[in-house]
Structure 1
């Protein structure tokens, strides 16, 4: 996005810091010592897309058109509008690539199965009263 590319370094760093914080919250961990090249590529891509997303969120002009997924085109006096409707609602940003990366970073619950489950006391001590 051209508007983001011309931001001063200080302003761009603020957006990068916000994007990094967002990723850390989503993943519930930090990636400071990450060495997996595929994950590093995803993190870089998510950071760039999040910076653009945050910039759009901060600027009202054109926000609705960019974020709505509506595409409008005119040919002569004829115009039409298409909504990018995939049937999928991610609930995150609405950007397919970014949402896919962010969802892949969300921790998945571990399936513990029945190996270590405890259902409660296995023996209940009963007192007998003799009369």
Structure 2
């Protein structure tokens, strides 16, 4: 995992998330880690020594835990399948039918982190064929 339970509890902006038991938080963190691996198409991120990537992974895990927790709430699920055109989250309202192009989670910071870590193969020659003169 990219984040410890203690870091998650200290950094979350939701008191409800911080108040969850360790087993629930571990489950959310495992789901977040799996989401990161699927979204980036990379299984090697756990072994990275790059501090900026490690920091991005911590932020992505935190944001994804909050995101997954929010969508697991019964009221949120009911709103998602309702036929209402808009959803209200606190003082923020968004239109469900008008997502921006390229948006994955709706959180610009999280989407940017996931895109920056995405695997992109580099093309190029792996070997050179010589004509025997050298």
Q: TM-score, normalised by structure 2?
A: 0.63
Counterparts of 1:17-28 in structure 2, within 5 Å, are: 17-28=30-41
Partner of 2:93: 70
Deviation at 1:107, TM superposition (A): 1.5
- Distance, in Å, in 2 between the alignment partners of 1:106 and 1:32 is 14
Q: For the pair shown, which has the larger CA radius of gyration, 1 or 2?
A: 1
Deviation at 1:23, TM superposition (A): 0.5
Is structure 2 residue 124 aligned with structure 1 residue 101?
no
Counterparts of 1:1-131 in structure 2, within 5 Å, are: 1-30=14-43, 31-61=45-75, 64-66=87-89, 70=93, 88-112=100-124
* Aligned-CA RMSD value: 2.5
- Distance, in Å, in 1 between the alignment partners of 2:52 and 2:100 is 25
More helix by share: 2
Deviation at 1:111, TM superposition (A): 3.8
Structure 1: gaps (5+ residues): 72-82, 117-131
Deviations 1:25-45 (A, max 9, x none): 112222221110000000000
Structure 2: gaps (5+ residues): 1-13, 80-86, 127-134
Deviations 1:38-79 (A, max 9, x none): 00000000000000000011014256423xx627xxxxxxxx
Aligned partner of residue 105 in structure 2, secondary structure: coil
Q: TM-score, normalised by structure 1?
A: 0.65
- Distance, in Å, in 2 between the alignment partners of 1:33 and 1:108 is 18
- Distance, in Å, in 1 between the alignment partners of 2:102 and 2:19 is 30
